[in-house]
A and B are shown apart, each in its own frame.
Chain A
């Protein structure tokens, strides 16, 4: 039977990609952030997941405002990264898992989540950077990918409550999959940051701590706010916490052990964090 082995959460700031290209990991500015990853890499090397279900948000690479799905599930055999327009390297392609994707899609729609399905889907730095951080220097990614994109760009956004429910539906779908895969769940983005407007540069360490303190043991605590209230609390791009909340839901009700947690200010304009939860 397939097994959900844990959840890996991290910020996905594009600047991290630049730091990796330049080899800046040990500089005073970047080291406190990169220090969060050795324990995550060691755990992954030991736990050997086969497939990652990754909740993230597109940044105008795959989706434009002509068609903006609230929730989109990848069903492709491969996923490519591409030029995002601001100088990041084009990252390695990912191998998909179409059979498990279609199982997820079937189960989610039966569970009344009216998702968009994508047989072609570019994935951007929100997927590539977490993989680069987890498996630095890998010639090819050691695990398959199922990307789930959540709209964090154009309001109305799905509420935290709805994202947690989506994640829980993904968990039920994974539980009913007949394969033997070891499944890693990922949530990327955040934490608090705001890039646009007169409030640019805003962060909220207190709200970030609230999220980090409650995500594992009491995820409902994060669902008491509307998406708009999250933007007010976490900044306009801090709403990427929705990806973390959905990923937490996908871990289900198994007891979770915190293997690693790191929080650092600032990385670029962002309060950055990484977190690893092992499912018992």
Chain B
């Protein structure tokens, strides 16, 4: 069966606009994500804390990735190919939870971000709980 080109185009367009973590991003972000994957090990988290520069150098982060990490700039980490499942482990070291990350990425205060999360409940169809 020949794939429907419109369908493929639509998928590709969605990948770009959201954006979604596809092969291009996975290739671009490999070093950064590899470093974050290493943080499953407590000794590696300690090594990062002890000497962040040396630890980043070990994983050969690109200049863009190193700057994004140094700046604690989550959107820049994503732009440099970071994937949130792995970046969450770095966020843990930095003492940031998913709501802190949400606030940082949307430019909201933490309280405003939390209020936005709660407000979604008002959109439950028929206001039903279940």
Q: Interface residues, chain A, CB within 8 Å of chain B? A: 15, 32, 36, 59-61, 64-65, 82-87, 153-156, 195-201, 203, 205-206, 209, 226-229, 231-232, 236-237, 261-266, 268-269, 271
Q: Which of the residues B41, B106, B124 comes within 8 Å of A265, measured between beta carbons? A: B124
Check A205 against B102 for contact (C-beta < 8 Å).
no
**CB-CB < 8 A to A65: which residues of B?**
26, 30, 33-34, 37, 83
How many Å from the CB of B110 to the closest CB on chain A? Answer: 11
A231 vs B87: C-alpha distance in the bound complex, in angstroms? 19
Check A262 against B130 for contact (C-beta < 8 Å).
yes
**CB-CB < 8 A to B15: which residues of A?**
155, 228
**CB-CB < 8 A to B39: which residues of A?**
85
Task: Tell whether A205 pairs with B84 under 8 Å between CB atoms, given A154-B21, A198-B75, A236-B20.
Answer: no
Check A231 against B18 for contact (C-beta < 8 Å).
yes
Contacting residues of chain B (1-21) with chain A, CB-CB under 8 angstroms: 7, 10-11, 14-15, 18-21
Check A261 against B130 for contact (C-beta < 8 Å).
yes
- How many Cβ-Cβ contacts under 8 Å join chain A to chain B? 147
Chain B: number of interface residues, binned into ranges: 35 or more
A121 vs B128: C-alpha distance in the bound complex, in angstroms? 39
A60 vs B11: C-alpha distance in the bound complex, in angstroms? 25
Check B22 against A268 for contact (C-beta < 8 Å).
no
Q: Which of the residues B37, B87, B99, B123 comes within 8 Å of A206, measured between beta carbons? A: B123
Question: What are the 3 A-B residue pairs with the smallest beta carbon separation, nearest first?
Answer: A86-B92, A85-B89, A196-B84
**CB-CB < 8 A to A156: which residues of B?**
22
**CB-CB < 8 A to B78: which residues of A?**
196-197
Check B7 against A226 for contact (C-beta < 8 Å).
yes
Q: Say whether B36 faces chain A, with CB atoms less than 8 Å apart.
A: yes
Check A263 against B129 for contact (C-beta < 8 Å).
yes
**CB-CB < 8 A to A268: which residues of B?**
98-99
Task: Tell whether A83 pairs with B41 under 8 Å between CB atoms, given A154-B83, A195-B98, A198-B75.
Answer: yes
